[in-house]
Structure 1
């Protein structure tokens, strides 16, 4: 139905939509530039002496106090961009990828030199666009730091005299203060990349998976500054014989409005998190990294108590959007989903097949977070979705390879499960790019290592659909898969969807070059067949569906805007009729901790009530479809698992033969990636790679070498 609706929309509607979306982009760029300007001007005398008085007068301090102008300057612009981004993404859902493909190619080629990868130690593989924006952010931090240093050093002698310090001691204290303020700038942007359902990331064509590296950069920068901030202050107190300051919890706003104990506890939690984020620890002890990273909740609570209402409002936008996303994920994770079957491969790999709502749409390379309580109630692991939203309208599949203790336990449980057992599963997602651009290229060279083949399974299946159903011209495909042993060749069977569609029937020009590195020749032993296991879900298990239904972006816009309005109303009422009268009658400023805690609770309450209402409304809307799916599955449950296995073999016999003809296996060697990439023919070649770090760097080095200008690099990596 959706395809018919899209195909019936004429060029006139598409043009209007394009103009509207273009206007939204222009508006958001202007608002964002104004937001950045506020950061640039905030550490200057002009802001505090001229701007703040006028802004406070216009926001009526009786209702919002000091929070009013700060929210107007720093919170409202980003939330406005987030709401506009939701509408932008909603309007873009109906735009067909192949429409205007020539213009997309032209735009892509115009800026291809900016998208050329480069390898920088400490940053990894980055493009020149990323380096440009990262450099601009560094310049903003340097300006913010230097402007505040200039502001305080002009008054340093007065500060030293008021404290009874030497000038160099006062300079050390002011330096510690300013480096902490610069860390706040990094912390403000820290939560944007990890907001998985972010409309701002979608607005820029990014995903949370691809943006994790930005979160990593910001995290290292902020913790470096906060550590220096805390260390310098402790050193300053020791030198001036004021170590008692470490036990200070200032409650009033009229002096320093800083709670030192809260700041020290905040720094302690931050150091524990930071110590487990380095690659060696994160990869070898992922559980330790995962559990300690949840300390961010306590980190944020004590950070807010340390700095108070002023800095709540400054860092609020990113945290506010993250809290909405996190609460929606929490609501989704409380549901148990319908796991209908699993395919067990001889290489200790599983394909889990879930029932899904037909209203749920996702793009290739999308991911989904999976929790299985029988293995661990707390751990969530991301996996790439391999099924196609069109070829498999009732099923959503993920592939799980045994690479750790969690996946090994899952494989043991599933492979030993009988056909009547049920496996309790919860999920979060799916999350993926808003659009794909594979049709821009004449050829796709996909390089995978081990389980890195899973994103390419989803891409190949999507191109199957485009070539067979939509009759689109698809690029030539070259899949280079590197495995340790021959048993992993069975993962190539997953290229075929359960429906039995094959590259031959879909007119895909697909060539598969498989490399088995640890075996010298074809093994003599016959490989075990792929085994299918059926599960019997409970009636309460629900198909995987979108958190917010078909119009999820519009619902998200409603949640963001309505929750913020509710927060402002509650804050204004409480401030006007409770806090303000107390301040006037007692002639002193209210306790900081109480006001900070109250403001935080109002934010949480506003988000919880609006997100819950939207979630429950859409859950009720999906109830009828859920019942239909359950009835359909129950009618087919009577077949035995053996008969299903036979059906699958018959169904996949011809597609498998077609797949074998396009596949060539090499034993005991590794591919010459440089030669393969440089010899690839076409005006535009997409070089996609997913696998170990060294493999990604090798492909990126070839694409950035300048030996050819038709290679366009894209790394698909998941560093959760």
Structure 2
């Protein structure tokens, strides 16, 4: 399989380089005046019309990559952990290195820097070539304006062209089940920053494009063209509407709204559908085919997520910790596998009809085959309502829908000689999944386990209860614990050592709440079942092939006869509308068909799921919290050996913050130290700066966060 995977990798790389080459050439004089007439003879046929060239050169190659990458990822998933992780870490070891930490970009890795430099170079190249063609080859001046006014208009037009290039990449980072991002070692969560950067650049260029045209039309006395909707050419009004929607999305996506007014950001961002519609109306079907792949793949992912979310997930129990944290445990099918640091999106209709929120998974799919757990911290409006609803004595069942899990396709922490996990507050959650996975790996006598150092910082003493979650409630033996080389340095920053005596006894007990099963509930399962990547490839291939066939039929037997018989040009807007309509229909048919087929097969394969759900409630949880043990209590549950091991491995520091530089530089004796951090921005940046300083070359940094 290794040879097949290497061959697929070479094919994917070749096609991708060719696709990028077309983006480099498309703005040049050679492409416009030499290549375009020749390509039009072959590709602008009666079956596809003017969009044929862009469809063949810019859409089909990327869709081919998307389908072939599904096969590649399926093979990668089937390989052994050693084979699978070897190639990945060879890439990430260099490209994942921190290069700089600076605001507003935050933590910039070698991958980020390489992508940014190449993309900025592409935009600069495109703008320079477009302006060269406009100013030195052929300056369009249909309004009898002055030369400088015509050049001013050309600059605004070309700024819009360059912004359009950003849209060719805009939706790749937000495709959660992407098959493109894993090829370069990325996940959707780690790539959100690319979406934000592309959004800022494109909106700035589109705003510049709009302002220039408004000023130009005002200068030549044709401001009325702002509201023109041309039937045979670019409808200006559609562009104005798209820009108005874009500004609303842009402004409400700024940090203030995302952090302080999340509901406004969330609901406004869902105007992207209207934005796309009017944007496509404005640019037309030919230009739409230039950006079609990332939009097409995004909507496949979005519809599959919708299909998965229509099922109610079985919520088994909730553990209310003495701090403001909550652990939810769901039932899942044994065949659902995910890697550590994965996330799960949760929707509770009784709290909000539309909002979905991501949370870190703390369980290990290998260690806990039929359960999946997430940690939720009570800190926002939505989480506050959820906490109150679950903790209410009158609540015996909760309707919950889920999407995911989403995470890295491979994750090799066993490569390192030692691991340093740095967390702040609830940022410890993804590291719980890492530790639990290492516990599972410890069951293999031949596996070399890394030394583990968990550096966790909490505000208050009660937050130490998060350490209770390190070991799962069942499935741990004394031999497993003895192999685990775990050391915990816990820092309580706002409480001193005397404050622990003031905590009431009631506050130091875990409260576990069980929920009644509902016949509509079902275990969490992959949206397309087992072999998820292969079936996703089937969806992508079948939907896109159907789109090409239907587009060819509509163009040849409906649009082309109108153009030929009447001697006029078919409505510019209707052409775009046909593309969007057929794309949505094909995605709906293909995705629904494969989803229902796989659902039927899964139901037959898991007919005993009710028995599995019943078995999941058999495990027990401790009645006291180890966080109380740190406070000096003499009461112990002697039979809770895993929890005692946490106490023995933990050193609690009151009233101080961790000296991260000292801790990291003291990691001597290990040739390879993996450093992972999840927590507040200041903490992440501090750890990144230390690792990037070069003073300790054995440190390999990786941040885990939804922002940067």
TM-score relative to the length of structure 1? 0.93
* 2:97–2:692 contact (8 Å) kept in structure 1: no
SS in 2 for 1:688: strand
Residues 235 and 85 of structure 1: is their aligned pair in 2 closer, same or farther, counting only changes over 3 Å? Answer: same
* 1:62–1:575 contact (8 Å) kept in structure 2: yes
Residues 131 and 19 of structure 1: is their aligned pair in 2 closer, same or farther, counting only changes over 3 Å? Answer: same
Decide which of 233, 248, 253 is 1:277's aligned counterpart. Answer: 253
Decide which of 683, 689, 695 is 2:683's aligned counterpart. Answer: 695
Decide which of 4, 7, 10 is 1:26's aligned counterpart. Answer: 10
* Uncovered stretches (5+) of structure 1, i.e. residues with no partner: 1-16
* 1:503–1:658 contact (8 Å) kept in structure 2: no
Shift of 1:281: 2.3
Mapped pair 1:670 → 2:652: no
SS in 2 for 1:154: helix
Mapped pair 1:201 → 2:181: yes
Residues 59 and 107 of structure 1: is their aligned pair in 2 closer, same or farther, counting only changes over 3 Å? Answer: closer
SS in 1 for 2:583: helix
Q: Which residue of 2 aligns with 1:95?
A: 79
Shift of 1:624: 3.6
Return the alpha-carbon distance in structure 2 between the equivalents of residues 265 and 309 of structure 1. 18
Mapped pair 1:487 → 2:462: yes
Mapped pair 1:180 → 2:168: no
How do 1:445-456 residues align onto structure 2 when only pairs under 5 Å count? 445-456=420-431
Q: Which residue of 2 aligns with 1:431?
A: 406
SS in 1 for 2:414: helix
Return the alpha-carbon distance in structure 1 between the equivalents of residues 214 and 542 of structure 2. 43
SS in 1 for 2:423: strand
Mapped pair 1:715 → 2:707: no
Return the alpha-carbon distance in structure 2 between the equivalents of residues 96 and 131 of structure 1. 32
Q: Which residue of 2 aligns with 1:237?
A: 217
Decide which of 327, 332, 355 is 1:356's aligned counterpart. Answer: 332
* 1:443–1:686 contact (8 Å) kept in structure 2: yes
Deviations 1:411-448 (A, max 9, x none): 11111145x71100011111000101211111111110
Deviations 1:473-517 (A, max 9, x none): 111000011001011100000001121526863411000011000
Shift of 1:704: 1.0
Decide which of 527, 531, 534 is 1:554's aligned counterpart. Answer: 534
Residues 172 and 550 of structure 1: is their aligned pair in 2 closer, same or farther, counting only changes over 3 Å? Answer: same
SS in 1 for 2:78: coil
Mapped pair 1:591 → 2:571: yes
SS in 2 for 1:480: strand
* 2:442–2:480 contact (8 Å) kept in structure 1: no
Residues 471 and 535 of structure 1: is their aligned pair in 2 closer, same or farther, counting only changes over 3 Å? Answer: farther
Deviation above 4 Å: which 4+ runs of structure 1?
99-109, 634-637, 643-652
How do 1:528-677 residues align onto structure 2 when only pairs under 5 Å count? 528-624=508-604, 626-634=606-614, 653-677=640-664
SS in 2 for 1:481: strand
Return the alpha-carbon distance in structure 2 between the equivalents of residues 93 and 651 of structure 1. 41
Instruction: Tell which deviates more after alignment, 231-240 or 370-379.
Output: 231-240
Deviations 1:96-151 (A, max 9, x none): 22348778777766x37x72341122211011232122101101000111101000
Shift of 1:163: 1.7
Q: Which residue of 1 aligns with 2:266?
A: 290
Q: Which residue of 2 aligns with 1:9?
A: none
SS in 2 for 1:513: strand
Instruction: Tell which deviates more after alignment, 571-580 or 521-530.
Output: 521-530
* 1:338–1:541 contact (8 Å) kept in structure 2: yes
* 1:365–1:384 contact (8 Å) kept in structure 2: yes
Shift of 1:51: 2.4
Instruction: Tell which deviates more after alignment, 473-482 or 614-623.
Output: 614-623
Shift of 1:613: 0.6
* Uncovered stretches (5+) of structure 2, i.e. residues with no partner: 626-635
* 1:117–1:703 contact (8 Å) kept in structure 2: no
Q: Which residue of 2 aligns with 1:4?
A: none
Shift of 1:50: 3.0
SS in 1 for 2:525: coil
Q: Which residue of 1 aligns with 2:42?
A: 58
Return the alpha-carbon distance in structure 2 between the equivalents of residues 147 and 188 of structure 1. 19
Mapped pair 1:48 → 2:32: yes
TM-score relative to the length of structure 2? 0.94
Return the alpha-carbon distance in structure 2 between the equivalents of residues 304 and 546 of structure 1. 33
Return the alpha-carbon distance in structure 1 between the equivalents of residues 87 and 265 of structure 2. 44
Residues 573 and 189 of structure 1: is their aligned pair in 2 closer, same or farther, counting only changes over 3 Å? Answer: same
* 2:343–2:407 contact (8 Å) kept in structure 1: yes
Decide which of 143, 168, 172 is 1:163's aligned counterpart. Answer: 143
Residues 324 and 553 of structure 1: is their aligned pair in 2 closer, same or farther, counting only changes over 3 Å? Answer: same
Residues 580 and 410 of structure 1: is their aligned pair in 2 closer, same or farther, counting only changes over 3 Å? Answer: same
Return the alpha-carbon distance in structure 2 between the equivalents of residues 308 and 102 of structure 1. 45
* 2:473–2:621 contact (8 Å) kept in structure 1: no
Residues 105 and 203 of structure 1: is their aligned pair in 2 closer, same or farther, counting only changes over 3 Å? Answer: closer
Q: Which residue of 1 aligns with 2:633?
A: none
RMSD of aligned Cα (Å): 2.1
Decide which of 124, 129, 141 is 1:142's aligned counterpart. Answer: 124
Shift of 1:644: 6.8
Instruction: Tell which deviates more after alignment, 487-496 or 529-538.
Output: 529-538
* 1:532–1:645 contact (8 Å) kept in structure 2: no
Q: Which residue of 1 aligns with 2:351?
A: 375
Q: Which residue of 1 aligns with 2:375?
A: 399
Alignment length (residue pairs)? 692
Residues 451 and 701 of structure 1: is their aligned pair in 2 closer, same or farther, counting only changes over 3 Å? Answer: same
Return the alpha-carbon distance in structure 2 between the equivalents of residues 634 and 390 of structure 1. 20
* 1:364–1:459 contact (8 Å) kept in structure 2: yes
Deviations 1:602-640 (A, max 9, x none): 000001100001111111122145541213434787x8x
* 2:22–2:58 contact (8 Å) kept in structure 1: yes
Return the alpha-carbon distance in structure 2 between the equivalents of residues 502 and 118 of structure 1. 43
